[in-house]
Structure 1
């Protein structure tokens, strides 16, 4: 028993990884690992610790935004707004080499700004955009990677569910997180588009332009823009109310749901059947997210109770290079966890451990929070358990092998690493908007 207790934090992660590799759902892997170690080390007296961890999550007001934003994203999917957005923007960018891939990035950003749900972005773009890219014989790696990169922008472009969770756990202002996330999102959009243009002009076969006979007139382009107006109004309504301080993120989410319903009704795309399906699906997804948060809370409570936080703190403190060594250690720690854990679970586990260490080292809490989110976005693409990989696989089925999807993530992971380096060297890239808001 002494051997178990001495190395309990390490054994907890070993058991967690074994359960994940065996295919046990992440929520139950986390909760089961935490409960098992609690019972082994403290017996039945540990039940109060486990239930209090779950209750604290369930009783967090900020997290009410999660089911609301999920409901928004599913309503958007049911009303085919994503398809209209893609069609409208592609009519403008199609004549440009790589225009289809650039459209994917822009539409992914808009989807992220409307719903904040990565699954909606990746799966929606995989079903709508990828067939077009294949038809125009785009480079397969570029096509797959662009869909995943564009779809995961919902992790950074507010309203982001992961930012809501991070803010609830660490106490960092969610409104400031949203502002910093928008700055970081714009940086990544720029880097992604520059890469697409480089690939397109390096070899036109990688990303050909729309054929002349398929291009539309200027009049048709302006008519197509009608599909963009209502979603943009919704973005302004949700983010504007939050950034202006009129509404909290939770209240902004409620405003977003009402706005989405009004748009769907006004465009005659919401029937009672679709509304019932949206409620049912959002309930399922919310339940999944809730179980992940509860499982992570149980794991974190036990991990902290057996000295896991102290162990990680000591490792960080002993890292060479002073505060920069601590920062590099923290980034590597998150990257490694991101290879195996779902992002919300990762936030629940890593944020309470790593964030205080970084702040103690003298770094700005908001800057670190946004850097954390950028690194976390990489987790969506990082093998073996990058969720964007499996979202895309579910959309394409047997048409594309998982190994090809893995390969397609590599250039975009490198681009995200470049973004991380730029943010570290030039913090103003992500702090300019929060600074403007705070004046």
Structure 2
């Protein structure tokens, strides 16, 4: 019944029904039907109010609306527009320089906002027309913009890492109980931020390396460099003025978390306030804009928490139907031990990314499989970053890759859906290559947290 429940949920989601209501509704329907045949004990539902209260009252998840608010404010303040103009003039003297400016600005925007949709839409509106006008390959340009937008999933401060941090913390405590270990040690969002920093920069470096190889072997896809702008005091001040505000904001938010000065929620509040200051300095804030920002923040936050409530109900019913024991039996009997189990989980998450959003996978799948993997001895920080990188692909894989939808929605007349799909394939492969690198050299993830928190 647990397997049937999971399959039915996936099918109903593919039909387009709301995620949160599907998770909760189908789970409660299965609980009711199963109880008639004595398969499900309805007394388990009695713990549901306390569980949902714990979800809403979670101090870690309070960082979500604050980070969303920060990202939306920066989107409205046109930080990316000024950055892209400055970087395009700086890199424009090199072949393919405009693409490198897209990567660099996208990285800063991803680190500033942590919202994939905001990055893809902003970069698509600002850079894609310029890229196509200059003669860049449409498929590659579209793929580069979509892939750059997904950097917000892995480069901290990231909303995805905040959500994963909460889920993995609970999973780690469950794993310790299963192993008979009673320790207050847990997995913090700061641990994941520190572990994600080097992989995020490495992913950006792989994007740049792939572009350099294309320039070397397929130069016809990249136009000749533009006439370089003279580097004078005005140009330096313009570049400096565009770079400093977002870099300072990132340092304040990320640095305060990594060095233990503030909790993620406290740092997020600093980031939200800093974003408001930047918007006011750029004269891009008004009552109407603030109203739009608050409305957008409320919508995103409500969606996240409603999905989390639905996932909590689904998880409770799934466990009540014996799903947790079934997963444990499958992993225990799998050839290859912990390696085989990890490969299976990563493959399942990758395939589910074709039809589910990263929030759904984080709240539904990860709580079911993470405790078992952690009880088999995996490092929780390494596992969290591997899942985060894997979840990046869900934004790029058709048919439900949200980054593809975002770009297609704002550039309908510039590129076709086929060009976008072709363009993202190499970047999906690069993300999978990063997962392979992290598997072979896990120290890329675990080194920085061990240095900061030793």
TM category, shorter: over 0.9
CA-to-partner distance for each residue in 1:341-360, whole Å, 9 max, x for gaps? 11111111222222222222
Partner of 1:3: none
Paired residues, number: 430
**Residues 407 and 12 of structure 1, relative CA distance in 2, 3 Å threshold:** farther
Shift of 1:46: 6.3
Shift of 1:236: 0.8
> Map of 1:42-57 to 2, 5 A cutoff?
42=35, 48-57=46-55
Assess if the C-alpha contact under 8 Å between 1:116 and 1:161 holds in 2.
yes
Shift of 1:318: 2.0
Distance 1:325 1:41 in 2: 32
Partner of 2:137: 139
Partner of 2:39: none
Query: What is the CA RMSD across the aligned residues, in angstroms?
Result: 1.8
Distance 1:110 1:419 in 2: 20
Helix, strand or coil for the counterpart of 2:62?
Answer: helix
Assess if the C-alpha contact under 8 Å between 1:35 and 1:50 holds in 2.
no
Q: TM-score, normalised by structure 1?
A: 0.93
1:19 to 9, 12, 23: 12
Shift of 1:16: 1.9
1:318 to 316, 322, 333: 333
Distance 1:209 1:71 in 2: 40
Distance 2:132 2:66 in 1: 34
**Residues 360 and 221 of structure 1, relative CA distance in 2, 3 Å threshold:** same
Higher mean C-alpha deviation, range 287-296 or range 174-183? 287-296
Distance 1:209 1:30 in 2: 52
**Residues 393 and 45 of structure 1, relative CA distance in 2, 3 Å threshold:** farther
1:256 to 262, 271, 280: 271
Shift of 1:388: 1.6
Partner of 1:425: 440
1:166 aligned onto 2:155 = no
> Map of 1:253-292 to 2, 5 A cutoff?
253-292=268-307
Structure 1 residues without counterparts, runs of 5 or longer: 1-7
1:218 to 231, 241, 265: 231
Assess if the C-alpha contact under 8 Å between 2:83 and 2:243 holds in 1.
yes
> Map of 1:12-411 to 2, 5 A cutoff?
12-42=5-35, 48-171=46-169, 172-212=187-227, 215-219=228-232, 220-225=234-239, 226-397=241-412, 399-411=414-426
Assess if the C-alpha contact under 8 Å between 1:53 and 1:301 holds in 2.
no
Distance 1:308 1:406 in 2: 36
Assess if the C-alpha contact under 8 Å between 2:138 and 2:415 holds in 1.
no
**Residues 51 and 392 of structure 1, relative CA distance in 2, 3 Å threshold:** farther
Partner of 2:428: 413
Q: TM-score, normalised by structure 2?
A: 0.90
Kindly indicate which of the two structures has a greater share of residues assigned to helix. Answer: 1
CA-to-partner distance for each residue in 1:101-137, whole Å, 9 max, x for gaps? 2222211211121121111111111111111111112
Assess if the C-alpha contact under 8 Å between 1:200 and 1:208 holds in 2.
no
Assess if the C-alpha contact under 8 Å between 2:354 and 2:401 holds in 1.
yes
Helix, strand or coil for the counterpart of 1:62?
Answer: coil
1:10 aligned onto 2:3 = yes
Distance 1:308 1:136 in 2: 55
Distance 1:270 1:428 in 2: 43
Assess if the C-alpha contact under 8 Å between 1:383 and 1:406 holds in 2.
yes
**Residues 400 and 228 of structure 1, relative CA distance in 2, 3 Å threshold:** same
Higher mean C-alpha deviation, range 120-129 or range 45-54? 45-54
Structure 2 residues without counterparts, runs of 5 or longer: 37-41, 170-186
Assess if the C-alpha contact under 8 Å between 2:396 and 2:428 holds in 1.
yes
Shift of 1:49: 5.0
Distance 2:27 2:235 in 1: 56
Runs of 4+ with >4 A deviation:
43-47, 49-53
Higher mean C-alpha deviation, range 149-158 or range 86-95? 86-95
